[in-house]
Amino acid sequence: MKLGAFSISLAVKDIHKSKAFYESLGFEKFAGDLEKNYLIMKNGDALVGLFQGMFDKNILTFNPGWDQNANLVEGFDDVRNIQKHLKNEGMTLATEADESTSGPASCVVVDPDGNPILIDQHV
């Protein structure tokens, strides 16, 4: 199963402080909009999303169809196929993609320790 690019999405209290902190670690803005309270920071292949006021917990994020530079990857596993696999493994999903659609969609599964894992397909 190909889950795509990996990042961690952090629920931050002050996006300006978080941006400065991650910049001091060598991260640079890769995407996002500070005025809309979210940034994607990048250092090499490491991606950290900073999100203020958008969710309560940190989230492990996978992007099927994207590499670490948000470039389209051919031959990726669609989120709906990943979702079917997870269900076949007996996992309960917190949110599901509509399996009758195609293109962008997402689903969320929660690990045994309560960590949400977002599979977020943008293509």
Q: What is the pLDDT of residue 4?
A: 96
Q: What is the pLDDT of residue 64?
A: 98
Query: Residue 84 belongs to what domain range?
Result: 5-121
Residues in Cβ contact with 62 at an 8 Å cutoff, skipping those fewer than 6 apart? 3, 4, 5, 6, 117, 118, 119, 120
Helix (H) or strand (E) holding 87: helix 79-88
pLDDT in tens, 4-32: 999 999 999 999 999 999 999 999 999 99
Q: What is the pLDDT of residue 117?
A: 97
pLDDT in tens, 61-104: 999 999 999 999 999 999 999 999 999 999 999 999 999 999 99
User: CATH number of the domain that 79 lies in?
Assistant: 3.10.180.10
Q: What is the pLDDT of residue 118?
A: 97
Q: What is the pLDDT of residue 111?
A: 94
- Split into its structural domains, the chain has a count of 1
In the DSSP assignment, the letter for residue 45 is: T
